Each structure stands twice: as structure tokens, then as C-alpha cells.
Homo-oligomer: A and B are copies of this chain.
């Protein structure tokens, strides 16, 4: 049996029981709320992880790049929402996925993008060398649906639900037979600081997105899909009338940012980085490890939270949190582990953490930390049960 002791460091560990609990929790919550769950696979970028989400009841997936769409389609996922505004130069590649049988949904939030898409669909553009007609695409079983991105929190992209532009974009898309609904992502939820504000943010995300759908329908335009979501709003929403599906991603691993929001506990976090102690600066109470920012990422997502976790919260090799110890500084291949209380609280670091000691580190932001690794060592206790690859790039 392969065990933690057989792994080189730094290594990304995926605690399978914790992940399975997270998947079950989110699916149960969505089932209770009566909406479909379409997980965002950008966190793990791993086919095996997405399969477990599907087995638990997820319907379709969400991706952040066409590379993800292509990889997951090749692995048998054919209901895919690409949730980033479609750039015109990617229309050919998107239509090529459709031609090959993918039920792809894409997102626009401007007249320019909607018009480019409508024109390309009429022409039958594809990413392949030969042109393929819309009829041929339909023959292949694929279908391109377009969602209008709605801005429900002012934090990124999307059209305001009250803007005249919403109906203009909807009309262009409908004339091309492409309009399928509305989509929003309430990233502002990451800035909430209490359960009450998270609940309010979830309701804001819901109500504004539903309002956009109602405006389209009132104008005689179809809007079957009403897609909302982020991990915090998904878990704090009290009810989701008018919503058809929820997208959430980071819940599959959770992370310290989510723990800081009260969305999970540190013990729920399924992703960690296994590191080895390589030195000390005893006078400063420093423990040097081989887990620097290359292994953790440069994400400092807890910096603005009440409890700044540095570059990560330190656990023993078995995964038990070592209270007070964080990766306080990081160079490319060095982590500097310190006690929050400083050198005095961190006395006798050489005795407590001898060279060769293995420590696990919980990450600030699972999406960013996972992206630093080429795969996961899937662990259950000390056993390494599998190695799952993840993909990267565009």
C-alpha cells in the first residue's frame, strides 16, 4: 500500500472522505431547494472529481475555459456551460464542440458579442477547416445555447437587470434562435462577514437574476434557464424560487477563505499541500519547509479577512490543525512557518519540528493552490489510494 510517507514533497493531497462529504452536502442542499446543481469544475480540473459530483446527482458542469470544455467533453461530459464572456475569436472553437455533439452553453453580456455569435451561427462557422451548417450541427446532436450574463453585485461582468441593453441583447440572440436564459455569479459574496449578510447576498443574487428573466419573458423572449451561484450563496440561500440551477465550484475542496466566511470548518478542507521541514532559524522561531509559493500559490485571500492565515494553516502529517502555526512567508520553494505569537510562542522549533518532519498545509484558495500542481494524491488517512491528474493551460 502506498502511504503518505512514500510521497515526495511538495505534493497536493486530496482527502477523499472530506471531498465526498462536501459533494454530498452541496447536492443535498440543492435537492432540498429544488434546483439543479451544475458544479464549476475549474477548481479541481479533474475528471475523476467531476465524475463523483455527477454520481451524486449533479446535472451538467460549468467550465472557465474552452480547454476545460474540450477535456471534459472528451471524458464524456456533454452538458457544459462555459461561464466566461465568449470572445469573438473563440466562436469557431465553441461551434466545433457543438458540431461534435456537445450541448454547450455560452455567455455574452454585450451587443457586440451577441451579434458576432448570431452572425457566425447563421454562417455556420466552425473551428474545423470545413464549414458545417446549423442543420448538420443539429444532426450531430449538439446544440448551442446562449445565456445573457447578468450583473447582480457590481463586482465583474454582466448586464444590469434593469438596463435596456438586456432586451436588446436578448432580441438579437432570439432572432438567431440562440437565447436560452440568464446567468449570474455573485462574487461579492466572498466579501461578506456574517451569515445574515450571506443570506441577504444570496437573495440579492436570486432576485436580480430572476428579475432579468422576467423582463425578457415580459418582452416575449424565452428564458428557460435561470442560473445563479457561488459556493457561499449556494449554501446560505434560504429559498430559490425562479431559479433553475445553481453553479458552485470551490465547495468540492473548500479552503481557508471559505472557512473564514463561515461556509465550512478548517476540518472540512479536502485539499492540502504536504511539505517537508528543511531547516530552522531558531532565534526567530522559524521553521523552513519546501512548501513555498510555487506549491501554495501566491494567493493571499485571507489577508482581508479577520484571521489572516498567511500562505496557509499548518497541520501535522495526519491532517490535524496545529493551532497557531501558519506559513507566514513564502519564497518560490521555501515556506516559513511561524507561530502567530512570534518567536516566544514558537520556542524550540528544532525540537518540535526536526528536519525531515512532514507538515500538511491548508490553502487560502483551493482553485489557486490546485493550479500549482499537476495532479492529486488521493488520500484516506495515511493511505494514498490513487493519483488523479489535473489539466492546465488554455
Chain A residues with CB under 8 Å of chain B are 8-11, 42, 64-65, 84-90, 109-110, 112-113, 116, 151, 156-157, 187, 276-281, 288, 290, 293-295, 297-300, 331-334, 336, 354-356, 365, 367-368, 371-374, 392-394
Contacts and interface: CB of A to CB of B under 8 A. Distances in A.
A226 to B, nearest CB: 21
A86 B279 CA distance: 9
Contact of A42 (B84, B113, B332): B332
A293 B368 contact: yes
Number of copies: 2
Given A298-B299, A332-B367, 5 more contacts: A84-B334, A87-B277, A113-B278, A157-B334, A374-B392
Contacts of A87: 9, 276-278, 290, 355-356
Contact of A355 (B110, B278, B280, B365): B110
Contacts of A336: 156
Contacts of A293: 299, 368
A87 B89 CA distance: 48
A109 B286 CA distance: 14
A87 B116 CA distance: 56
Nearest to A288: B157
Given A87-B276, A278-B85, A64 B355 contact: no
Contacts of A110: 279-280, 355
A276 B89 contact: yes
A374 B393 contact: yes
Contacts of A279: 85, 109-110, 113, 157
Nearest to A8: B394
24 contacts: A8-B90, A9-B87, A9-B89, A11-B394, A42-B332, A64-B332, A64-B333, A84-B333, A84-B334, A85-B279, A85-B288, A87-B277, A87-B355, A88-B356, A89-B276, A156-B288, A156-B331, A156-B336, A157-B281, A293-B368, A295-B394, A297-B297, A298-B365, A373-B393
Interface centre among A42, A151, A298 (most CB of B within 10 A): A298
A332 B9 CA distance: 26
Contacts of A64: 294, 332-333
A280 B88 CA distance: 14
A308 B373 CA distance: 29
A152 B87 CA distance: 50
A290 B109 CA distance: 14
Contacts of A393: 373-374
Given A157-B279, A187-B331, A374-B393, A290 B84 contact: yes
Contacts of A11: 394
B300 A355 contact: no
Contacts of A331: 156, 187
A64 B332 CA distance: 8
A10 B177 CA distance: 30
Contact of A300 (B298, B333, B368): B298
Contacts of A373: 393
Nearest to A112: B355
A146 to B, nearest CB: 14
